[in-house]
Amino acid sequence: MLDTQKTINVGERELIKVAKRDNVTTVWDRYEAMQPQCGFGQTGLCCRFCWKGPCRIDPLGNGPKVGICGATADVIVARQLIRMQAAGAASHSEHGRHIALTLLEVGEGKAPSYRIKDEQKLLDVASMLDISTDNKDIVQVAKEVALKTLEDYSRQDAKHPCNWALKTLPEKRSNSLIRNDIMPHNIDATVAGVLARTHVGCDSDAENIILGGLKAAMADYTGMSLSTNLSDVLFGTPNPVVTKASLGVVKEDAVNIAVHGHNPLLSEIVCDMASEMNDKAISAGAPKGINIMGICCTGNEVMMRRGVPLATNYLSQELAIVTGALEAMVVDVQCIMPSIQKVGESYHTEIITTMPDNKITGATHVEFDEHTAKESAKKIINLAIDAYAKRDKSKINIPDQSVTAIAGFSAEAIVSALSKVDKKDPLKPLIDNIVNGNIQGIVLFAGCNSTQVTQDSGYVTIAKELAKKNVLLLATGCGAGALSKNGLMTQEATNEYAGEGLKAVLTAVGEAAGLNGPLPLVLHMGSCVDNSRAITVATAIANKLGVDLSDLPVVASAPEAMSEKAVAIASWAVALGFPTHIGTVPQIKGSKFVTEYLTQTTKDITGGYFIAETNQSNAAEKMFEAIQEKRKGLGI
């Protein structure tokens, strides 16, 4: 595999060479060692759900067409798919539960490291959840909001939808989800239900299984929606901020600490303590003090709220260590390659795990606890300062990259920018420009990187093509990472790549918002759980027009999807009615029924459907066609 096939990012390509020099194995080396990958696994036709198996279905030859228990290819494929959706939902919802429980502790005065940073947001959330705030102090409101949120994890009345799903979607969409039995009543019960129904000898109707998976995906939506909003309450609602992205953000003369993972509960406090302990790092010989940077979604969280630079996204996380100047990589949960410990050992980097249920053998574990968050953060920073002295100067290779990135586009920030154009009716300029065609539609880029795709190429290629066709671009997760570190979250990118209509709108709004130029070409909406921010915007537009989400010229794209969480997100995008592109080969191709159901049949049920397309230009074309179809439906 050529380095040019590994990533499009030039700085990262240099570091891949350095890794080779230093005898460090990276994700791409392990990918090559794994070839050829098993065709049964790739198509979803291998079942290991009981110890009579593994059972392999032979799709072409004369081999078995059913498993030992009699499960068909359709059932085997569908069951595995929905377990992925449930795992994604569990991951996002555990994150959400952690935030909700912390808010409860703040409401009960038990978490001194945290406070309510955005009181207005808390009041807005309370009102959305029908909690009266009259004559209540803000701490009491926090407690009630947390308790009402936690009902979504404990409700037993299957007829009562989750509060956070019901209240954040247009009524038409909620009703259709309820009608099709894909509206969850309880996140935990929905996830457990998927595990139960996919046990050997249970649900053996592929369609029924798929619908169960869409419900799990909606549980995922519920978990991320509450995560995003309650994180805003605790840590502030993001506003546009100018910062940097790419591995060029590592500083040779600073104690470099990367926060990696997903949960802002830890990274926020590390950032707070870093400013307090900066002088200590200077005294330890690092003239620039402490330099915090982010990786993956925790990186997106602190980038959005604090302007902390983003070092990189998923696939190149090991390369941050290969710079030879990273003192510590502090990780919490999700998307942390187990390999980083081994890479860290080749340099001086401390890998610090923090969560009791996410440890890495050999790494230093500093247990994080909401009650003693500051003490843990202090310990972590001290470890990093100590590591600075252990650097091997001959191993330092920091890419010479300085890429500006404008981030921080929460739904509130977008509405606020639009309100500078029309104070009374902020959504009007956006809707008017969609109607008049200056903006043809909206695409939300989300999801990961995968060894299946040259890193970041899917995002960058498709974004440029759709921008030319006047599609408004939003991004989250590693998609936001890709688009920021490759220079598309800048005003220059708008001038260079946006079609005339889109450029005119981004310029008008940017100028009105005092940016001295256009909004960036791609609006960074945050981490993966922040995908709910785009739904907030879409719901506001749908409600204003009196239509459903599925009527809007809005598409989703996950060109480099890899994780179970991404499967869950893409699936709820389909459940909400959006044509949803995936650019990696999903492990469902062994079942024609499942493939057709997800790419065609769901269109009649939810209005949404998957567009599976690995060719990036074709994908852009197909998404644009989907946008045109929706425009036609609206008569515009």
Q: Among ligand BF8, ligand SF4, none, what does residue 200 contact (CB within 5–8 Å per kind)? A: ligand SF4
Q: What are phi and psi of 405, to 5 degrees?
A: -145, 130
Instruction: Name residue, tokens 């198996």.
Output: 53
Interacting residue with ligand BF8 among 191, 335, 474, 498 (CB under 6 A): 335
Q: Which stretch binds ligand SF4 (CB under 6 A): 42-50, 189-197, 230-238, 393-401?
A: 42-50
8 Å CB contact between 79 and 198: yes
Which of 297, 366, 570, 588 is in the footprint of ligand BF8 by CB under 6 A? 297
Report angle CA 149, 152, 158 to the nearest 5 degrees: 150
HSE-CB for 309 with a 13 A CA cutoff: 22
DSSP letter string, 415-426? HHHHHTT-SS-T
| Residue 473 · residue 493 · CB < 8 Å | no
Distance separating alpha carbons of residues 109 and 179, to the nearest angstrom: 41
Residues 6+ apart with CB under 8 A from 160: 185
State the binding partner of 71 from ligand SF4, ligand BF8, none, CB within 5 to 8 A by kind.
ligand SF4
Sole binder of ligand BF8 in the list 213, 399, 447, 553 (CB under 6 A):
447
Pick one of 331, 478, 498, 513: the residue that binds ligand BF8 (CB under 6 A).
478
Pairwise CA distance, residues 489 & 291, whole Å: 22
C-alpha–C-alpha distance, residues 618 and 237, integer Å: 36
CA–CA distance, 473 with 261 (Å, rounded to integer): 25
Q: What is the dihedral of CA 18, 22, 28, 29, to 10 degrees?
A: 140
**Closest to ligand SF4 by CB, 76 or 541:** 76
Q: Tell me which of ligand BF8, ligand SF4, none is bound by residue 447, counting a contact when its beta carbon lies within the kind-specific cut-off of 5 to 8 angstroms.
A: ligand BF8
Residue 50 binds ligand SF4, judged by CB under 6 A:
yes
Both tokens assigned to 47: 């079942």
- How near is the Cβ of 217 to ligand BF8 at its closest, in Å? 14
359 forms part of the interface with ligand SF4 (CB under 6 A): no
* CA–CA gap between residue 131 and residue 414 (Å, rounded): 26
The answer to whether 69 contacts ligand SF4 (rule: CB under 6 A) is: yes
Q: How far is the CB of 73 from ligand SF4 (least distance, A)?
A: 10
Owner of token pair 């970041």 = 456
Is 148 in contact with 131 (CB distance < 8 Å)? Answer: yes
Among residues 177, 274, 522, 566, which is the contact residue for ligand BF8, using CB under 6 A? 566
Distance of alpha carbon 227 from alpha carbon 249, whole angstroms: 28
Of residues 199-228, which lie at the interface with ligand SF4 (CB under 6 A)? 200
User: Which of 68, 192, 196, 389 is the binder for ligand SF4 (CB under 6 A)?
Assistant: 68
* Distance, CA of 266 to CA of 577 (rounded, Å): 35
DSSP 8-state class, residue 151: G
CA–CA dist 371, 112 (Å, integer): 7
Sheet strands side by side (includes 471-476): 522-526, 471-476, 441-445, 554-558, 579-582, 609-612
- In the bound complex, what is the minimum distance in angstroms from residue 99's beta carbon to ligand BF8? 15
Member of 6, 19, 40, 67 binding ligand SF4 (CB under 6 A):
67
Which helix (H) or strand (E) covers residue 173, if one does? helix 171-179
* Site for ligand BF8 contains 274 (CB under 6 A): no
Nearest distance in Å: CB 188, ligand SF4: 24
Q: Decide the pairing of beta strands 579-582 and 554-558.
A: parallel
Binding segment toward ligand SF4, per CB under 6 A, in 28-36, 47-55, 424-432, 536-544: 47-55
Taking the mean position of all CA atoms in its chain, how far away is CA 397?
Answer: 29
Partners of 445 in the β-ladder: 475, 557
Q: Kindly state the number of chain residues that form the binding site for ligand SF4, as judged by CB under 6 A.
A: 14
Query: Can you tell me which of 16, 71, 325, 540 binds ligand SF4, judged by CB under 6 A?
Result: 71
Q: How far is the CB of 182 from ligand SF4 (least distance, A)?
A: 25
- Tokens matching residue 36: 């050829």
296 binds, among ligand SF4, ligand BF8, none (CB under 5 to 8 A by kind): ligand BF8
Query: Of the listed pieces 51-59, 465-473, 500-508, 559-567, which binds ligand BF8 according to CB under 6 A?
Result: 559-567
By CB under 6 A, the count of residues binding ligand BF8 is 16
Q: Are 568 and 446 in contact (CB under 8 A)?
A: no
Looking at the Cβ atoms of 448 and 576, the one nearer to ligand BF8 is 448
**Taking CB positions, which residue lies at the least distance from ligand BF8?**
448
Partner from ligand SF4, ligand BF8, none contacting 297, C-beta within 5 to 8 A by type: ligand BF8
Here's the x/- map for ligand SF4, 174-203, by CB under 6 A: it reads as --------------------------x---
Q: How far is the CB of 458 from ligand BF8 (least distance, A)?
A: 12
Residue of the chain from 448, 488, 534, 627 that contacts ligand BF8 (CB under 6 A)? 448
Could you tell which of ligand SF4, ligand BF8, none binds residue 68, using a CB distance below 5 to 8 A set by kind?
ligand SF4
Give yes or no for residue 477 binding ligand BF8 (CB under 6 A): yes
195 binds, among ligand SF4, ligand BF8, none (CB under 5 to 8 A by kind): none
Which partner in ligand BF8, ligand SF4, none is near 414 (CB below 5 to 8 A by kind)? none
For ligand BF8, the closer CB: 357 or 604? 357
Note whether 528 binds ligand BF8 by CB under 6 A: yes
Beta bridge partners of residue 353, listed in sequence order: 331, 365
Which residue shows structure tokens 């630079």?
309
| Piece in contact with ligand BF8 (CB under 6 A), picked from 45-53, 115-123, 417-425, 558-566 | 558-566
Provide, for the chain, the percentages of residues in helix, strand and coil under a 3-state DSSP scheme, each rounded to the nearest 5: 55, 10, 35
For residue 584, state whether it binds ligand BF8 (rule: CB under 6 A): no
Rg of the Cα atoms in the chain: 24
- Are 46 and 40 spatial neighbours (Cβ–Cβ below 8 Å)? yes
- Name the nearest CA neighbour of 76 among 598, 620, 614, 593: 593
- Which residues of this chain interact with ligand BF8, rule CB under 6 A? 262, 296-297, 313-314, 335, 447-448, 477-478, 527-528, 562-563, 565-566
Binding site for ligand SF4 (CB under 6 A): 47-50, 52-55, 67-69, 71, 76, 200
